[in-house]
Chain A
Amino acid sequence: MLVQFYNVSKIYSNGVKALDDVSLKIERGEFLFLMGPSGAGKSTLIKLFFREEAPTRGQIFIASRSIVRMKRSEVPRLRRNIGIVFQDFKLLENKTASENIAFAMEVVGANPKEIRQRVAEVIEMVGLKGREKSFPGELSGGEQQRIGIARALANRPLLLIADEPTGNLDIDTSREIMELLFDINRKGTTVIMATHARELVKAARKRVILLDKGRVVADNPNGESIV
């Protein structure tokens, strides 16, 4: 079991109840969609995984380790095992494609030789060979998201979390990105993807968790009844 949530609630300091008694389990190697209307609690749930937020109540285990009572100094290690892909890519504009990827490894203190090798590997994996020296501004949205994914993979995470990764992309590009994520999942990485794109979820036939008003209202192994 990679992830376990037990009766997790999150109430923000302004009184907003973002999550209400959420329990869920995610196996190693799973591919999971997280759906629900805006304000349902998807973003909050995602932030709990890498402890950008801590739960108000409940218990969370990742790789059998509680991350609720985690010291501030232990958080970086947790995050090194989780790759995050953002809707708006969050690439550094003044760094090239390969520098953006290398950045993720530099900040965790990898050695230069290791970085060179791994950057070449993940660039190949996401299909951007030949664009290493391009700056984000010179690349299409789909290509930029591929860099985002490559960066998330650079440190060989156990878990890849993608928060609306296709939200800013057209439908054809979105399908390509989905294929890439499936491919990564087939190679063994657990993937959690929050999305609004019903088309993509429908075609995928993967597990779907539906959130509404902070509660899990459905958890379906192949998404049929939900979409």
Chain B
Amino acid sequence: MILRNVMYFWREAWKSLRRNKVLTIASVSTVSICILILGMAVLMTVNAGSVMKKLESDVEMVAFLEHALTRSQISQIEEKISQLDGVKSVKFVSRDTALARLGKSYGNKEYDLKSTLGKNPLPHSFEVKARNPHDVPRIASKVDKIDGVYKVNYGQGVVERLFAVTKWVRAISLAFIVLLSLGAVFLIATTIRLAIYARRKEIYLMKLIGATDWFIRWPFFIEGILLGTLGALLSILLLAGAYSSLISNMGSVYFIPLVTGGPILGRLYIALLAAGTVLGVAGTSISLNRFLDV
């Protein structure tokens, strides 16, 4: 009984898809375009997110130490910094290393900075990274209060602006994705409503003959699932093709690090496929109930 019904539902769904070719193509394209746009938005967001994350993770502070500290005082300071809440790593940079780096940054091996200056004017310092880049200003003010620390530098001002920008970029992309999803549900529901409207007589007849609501619903749901999944598959193929050619053509040229990680993209494509299926079912159930009320 149950198995027979299941077979009947699939047969009916398949027949209806084949019989109403134009509507089928319209629905599949609608889903496909919606998912494609949604997918592009998500990809952009993911990429923007990874750029943001990279920019943020570059944020660190440098704590310059006072001159004339003993070795044990220095290691005490290091201890204190690393015990602060939210500190990820503390790295000691001796004044010699700092000078060598400075020299390197001028890029001339012949040129000896030390002999020009006569003595090394740079202090010892610690490079401190926070577990969460947003904590940097808070930690910096604490580090500043430790005895023996002369000055803390983390790009004050610039960092706050960077965080404001990344916050907005994230909020806007999220809002964009939510709006697109709503639009997609609406568009798909409308298209499926057309398909159901074309069969309203059949539904009415089934109701009068004594079919249960679920008996009538199932073929439509299966249709919705098939439409949604097919549309999503199409758009994922397009999206994956376009994105991989984008990576191979542009990835090396631009400084923007495109997300190429297989697992992230794989998860995205699976999510889009699921979204297509859900959109198909949601669109169907929104549209169907009105016609079942006989």
Contact = CB atoms under 8 A, between A and B. Distances in A.
Do these two chains interact? Answer: yes
Contacts of A77: 210
A91 B4 CA distance: 24
B210 A94 contact: no
Interface string B186-211: 00000000000000011001111111
B128 to A, nearest CB: 68
A72 B147 CA distance: 79
A109 B210 CA distance: 10
A135 B5 CA distance: 25
Contacts of B117: none
A76 B212 contact: yes
Most buried by A among B4, B19, B208: B208
Most buried by A among B1, B19, B210: B210
Contacts of B4: 109, 111-112
Contact of B210 (A79, A90, A111): A79
Contacts of A155: 209-210
Given A76-B211, A78-B210, A109 B5 contact: yes
The SS class assigned to the B binding surface is: helix
B213 to A, nearest CB: 8
A121 interface: no
B210 A92 contact: no
B19 A108 contact: no
Interface residues of B, number: 18
Nearest to B212: A76
Nearest to B15: A94
Nearest to B294: A52
B243 interface: no
Interface in B199-236: 201-202, 205-212, 215-216
B221 to A, nearest CB: 16
Nearest to A112: B4
A79 B209 contact: yes
Interface string B277-294: 000000000000000001
Contact of B205 (A76, A92, A112): A92
A90 B199 CA distance: 12
B228 to A, nearest CB: 25
Contacts of B208: 50, 52, 79, 84
Contacts of A103: 209
B215 to A, nearest CB: 6
Interface of B: 1, 4-5, 8, 19, 201-202, 205-212, 215-216, 294
